Amino acid sequence: MFGLLGTAVNVVTVLIGSGIGIIFNKKIPKRLTDSLFKALGLATIFIGVSGCLCGHSAILIIVSLILGTLIGELLNLDKRINTLGSFLEKKIDKNNPESKLAQGFVSASILFCIGSMTIVGCLNAGLKGDLSVLFAKSALDLCSSMIFASTMGVGVMFAAGFVLVYQGLLTVLAVVISPYLSALVIDEMSCVGYIVIIGLGITMISNVKLKLTNMVPSMFMPIALVPLGAWIVELLPFLK
C-alpha cells in the first residue's frame, strides 16, 4: 500500500536520528545530559501547550480524558508497554544499573505518535496517497529522536517499532474511520493528545509519575463524543 510509505520513511528517520543521538550520548557528561533532559522536558510542555489550544469544548476534553483513562486503566496499557520496555532493557542493557531504556522507549513512543500531524498525516496517506504531512513529521522526528536519544539512550530507537505499528494501523484504518473524522473531531482529538504530551513533559522535569499510556485511549473518545454532543444539542435546543 502506497500510503504506508510515509510511515516507513518516518521509522527510518527515527532510527537514523536515534543512532546519531546514541553516539553523542556516550560523549556527553552525565551532568550535562541531565540538564539537557530537563530542558527537553520544558520544550515538550511548550509543544503540548501550543498544540492543545486547538480544542473547542472544555467539557468534551474533560469527558474524553476521564473515559479514555478509565479504558486505559481497565486494559492496563501502561503496565503492558512498560513491561515491554523493561524486557528490552533486561535483554539489551542489563549490565547498566542507570539504564533509561524503558523510560526512553515509552516517552519517545508517546511523543512520536500523539498529535495532529500523526492523525492528519495517516489520514491523508491512507485516503489520498498524500505523504507530505508524514514527510514533514519525519523531519521533525529526526531532530527530536537525536535530542531524546542523546539523553535517554537506545530506548528511543526501539520507539521506531511503536511508530511502525501505530501509524501503520492508523493509515490502514483511515478508510474505515474517515467518515467520523470531521475537522472538529480532529481538533478535539489533537487537543486531548497534546494534553497527554504536557503530562509527558511534567514527568521529565519532576518526580511525578503519570501513567500516560493509560491516557492514550482518551485521544479517540472525541470520535464518539462529538457526534453524541451534536445529537444532544439537537434534542435539547436550549443548550445551544
Whole-number Å distance between alpha carbons of 170 and 195:
20
d(CA 43, CA 108): 14
Which pLDDT tens digits describe the chain residue by residue (240 residues)?
A: 666 888 999 999 999 999 998 888 777 777 777 787 788 788 888 888 888 888 888 899 999 999 999 999 999 988 888 888 777 777 776 666 556 777 888 888 888 887 767 887 888 888 778 888 899 889 888 988 888 888 888 889 989 998 999 999 988 887 787 777 888 888 898 888 889 888 888 988 888 888 888 998 998 899 999 998 888 877 776 655
> Do 82 and 106 contact (CB within 8 A), yes or no?
yes
Q: What are the grid coordinates assigned to 116, written together?
A: 495532529
193 Cβ contact list (under 8 Å, min separation 6): 51, 114, 115, 116, 118, 119, 219
pTM over 0.85: no
Give the span between the Cα atoms of 223 and 240, in whole angstroms.
20
The residue range of the domain holding 202 is: 4-25+33-239
Q: Are 136 and 117 in contact (CB under 8 A)?
A: yes
Number of domains in the chain: 1
Q: How is residue 179 annotated by DSSP?
A: G
Measured between alpha carbons, how far is 240 from 232 in angstroms, rounded to an integer? Answer: 10
Q: What is the pLDDT of residue 71?
A: 96
